[in-house]
Structure 1
């Protein structure tokens, strides 16, 4: 049996747990095995048939000095991944770190372009404002000249008639 496989379902371990004798099983498989047994207080290991307690005593009735010695018989286990997947993960992490660096460079370039575009837009807005003010000044000048022209034209007609 492979190191990372369950002794009950013979598949890869899913949420591995360990019995007191040290055998690893999927949590669901071991729970199903314990539930199938007729004894509600003890169960046997599916691999070596060693008995282990299933029920925990009620801690209210056990003196506090013994609480630290009472641990569940079935405990969760964290298994290291095989080296191939570790290497693949490392390669993936390296690739992703390079991608992050590339994206950071792109972000800086984009920020520079945005700032230059904003500066150009601000300069253009100033030019438009200046042009609008110049246009308004020229319109006023033209109105004044038109009034003067009309006045000169009126005087000319008046002199011509006399």
Structure 2
């Protein structure tokens, strides 16, 4: 069994989403011979593209929700249907013990991702950490510090842009 966690940018451009999805499909083919489990916070953008690719590859999804109010406060109307679909499709849904979404909740969710994974899949443009914590680069840094292998996915032509363009 291989367990992959994901982190990535929420603000992928409309053009980037299919490029990233295709790159994720290719990456997941490496794990087609065994049982595949994926952990994702199923946020808009990269997290949802990963969840979509994982399910299409026959993998089992574990959704890690940062807080009890995450769906109501952080999920945009454009992403709500996809978010609900992923929650329904998940083999397991872990909700962090935080009432409100925020830095502590995101960091706790990211810690669960890294603790349970064999590898991290990062849809990441290489931008360094901002120091805010909980962002894609921060998760990559933590994974590497912990000795967790990281597969960076950033296909040619991918770019960041407006939110609301994902799965």
Fold in common (TM above 0.5): no
- For normalisation by structure 2, the TM-score amounts to 0.19
Could you say which structure has the larger radius of gyration? 1
The structure with the largest strand share of the pair is 2
Q: Which has the bigger relative contact order, CA under 8 A and spacing at least 6?
A: 2
The structure with the largest helix share of the pair is 1
- For normalisation by structure 1, the TM-score amounts to 0.19
